[in-house]
Amino acid sequence: MPADLVIVANRLPVDRVPLPDGGWEWKPSPGGLVAALEPVMRANDGTWVGWPGGPVEDADPSELEPFDADGLHLVPVGLTAEEIELFYEGFANGTIWPIYHDLVAKPEFHREWWDSYVRVNEQYAAKAAEVAAEGATVWVHDYQLQLVPQMLRDLRPDLRIGFYLHIPFPPAELFAQLPWRRQILEGLLGADLVGFQLPGGAANFVRLVRQRVGYKTHRDLVYLPDGRTVRAAAFPISIDVAGFEELVHDESVRARAAAIREALGGPRKIFLGIDRLDYTKGIYARLRAYAELVEAGELDVEEAVFVQVAVPSRERVEQYRLLRDEIDRLVGRINGDLGRIGRPAISYLHNSYPRAEMAALYTAADIMVVTPFRDGMNLVAKEYVACRVHDDGALVLSEFAGAAAELRQAWLVNPYDINGMKAALLEAYHADEKDLTRRMKAMRRTIQRHDVAAWADSFLTELAEVAPHTKSPRQARGR
């Protein structure tokens, strides 16, 4: 059945999990994006196009057939082992990711990576063109698929196309290094609406289009020679606030939070970091800052502990393997030098956890530390705030996370400034209850007013306005 709403994202919202009998099944991987899009997907009988994970060489043909999971229609795009290496690990994560994150790592430019990026984007565009109904809305997501909007428009000029970038869009000076800069801008301009996390990203994009493609622009609009108008605007993403609050009120999550506190040494104050193990997240500098405070006697391992959860990520990419080794060594050295029996300075976990365990960790923590060098938004910061249903707990947050634009009452830090971070960690540690409550209340109001459903609604509403020539999807909530 052709779909009136099609989501195109690098990954499908499911994982293939092996069963004890040698078979396998699809298990939903409930991220924030699925939670946000599920209601509107259901209201429109929507279809999701994406990669199910793993190379096609290891898949049996039935895995690449469209299927339904949890009432969602899913259409797999198969990637070969070579495409995973060149398109995904290569161009997406070795070229675009570092450039878009302010060159925190050195990007690599390889023509064969680019060629694979083009070919894979073609596959996604072709699949989306195949499943979209006449005049449907197609919403393309993120940096892996920047060429899809124009490819799709060439195949299906009847569609209404939106694109959303989850990571930062860099200043012109950095973007200009890309040998394929013009093709990428033209790819994005295939959309009617290009969404960014922050107004700065949208402004960078419009300026680049003017400079590098030579189209006329006015404020957030780009005028194309074929008469089309493209709008670039900010839509800061959010989280399923009610979902997290519900989890925190669950008896088993509360019991688990108490057990975590107990296991960590009772009244010790808990600093917490939760990040994908990624060099943009600033894990190394943050742990160093903390260790210096312990070393200087400003913090005592009997009274405080830093829990760092580093979720395994992109483990086949060289820079990520090196980062893991560096952090392993740092944690080992810090605990060797500063820990006591049963009292490590840092409790380090290289693992991923169910959502309920994440909520228990957020509940157990006294001070959440989120210090990326650059981050599109950072949902972890918002999730922590959502879980503080008693208006307590402190948030130390990097100025360079998109979330800092909204969570102004956090202790905002420059992650490159170790002394500044040390001062903020101490201030948050010693803050009195009244100050914590005042800050947390304000931050909670902010995220409650703007949850992930509001984010999806505002993007789709805006998309309908900029492309009135096509028909609108039904809104999930009466508005």
DSSP per-residue codes, 182-226: HHHHHHHTTSSEEEESSHHHHHHHHHHIIIII--EEETTEEE-TT
Q: From the CB of 466, what's the least distance to ligand GDG, in Å? A: 21
Contact residues toward ligand GDG (CB under 6 A) are 32, 166-167, 237, 276, 311, 352-355, 358, 375-380, 383
Q: Hey, what amino acid is at 363?
A: T
Q: How far apart are CA 150 and CA 162, in angstroms?
A: 11
**72 by DSSP, 3-state: which?**
strand
Our CB check for ligand GDG shows the closer of 186 and 383 to be 383
Contacts of 309 (CB under 8 A, 6+ apart): 272, 273, 274, 275, 349, 351, 353, 361
Q: From the CB of 258, what's the least distance to ligand GDG, in Å? A: 20
Our CB check for ligand GDG shows the closer of 301 and 306 to be 306
Our CB check for ligand GDG shows the closer of 274 and 394 to be 274
Cα dist from 162 to 166, 194, 313, whole Å: 13, 6, 28
Q: From the CB of 253, what's the least distance to ligand GDG, in Å? A: 13
Q: From the CB of 343, what's the least distance to ligand GDG, in Å? A: 25
Our CB check for ligand GDG shows the closer of 155 and 311 to be 311
Our CB check for ligand GDG shows the closer of 166 and 268 to be 166
Our CB check for ligand GDG shows the closer of 167 and 294 to be 167
Backbone CA torsion sign across 95, 97, 98, 101: positive
Q: From the CB of 216, what's the least distance to ligand GDG, in Å? A: 30
Q: From the CB of 375, what's the least distance to ligand GDG, in Å? A: 4
Our CB check for ligand GDG shows the closer of 12 and 133 to be 12
Q: From the CB of 299, what's the least distance to ligand GDG, in Å? A: 25
* Strand 367-370, strand 269-276: pairing: parallel
Cα dist from 378 to 53, 238, 327, 385, 414, whole Å: 23, 9, 21, 12, 15
Backbone CA torsion sign across 358, 363, 366, 369: positive
Find where tokens 């994970």 sit: 53
DSSP per-residue codes, 261-297: HHHTTTT-EEEEEEEES-GGG-HHHHHHHHHHHHHTT
Cα dist from 278 to 9, 44, 255, 328, 438, whole Å: 21, 36, 31, 14, 32
Our CB check for ligand GDG shows the closer of 293 and 358 to be 358
**17 by DSSP, 3-state: which?**
strand
Q: How far apart are CA 159 and CA 161, in angstroms?
A: 6
Q: From the CB of 378, what's the least distance to ligand GDG, in Å? A: 5
Q: From the CB of 451, what's the least distance to ligand GDG, in Å? A: 13
Our CB check for ligand GDG shows the closer of 75 and 456 to be 456
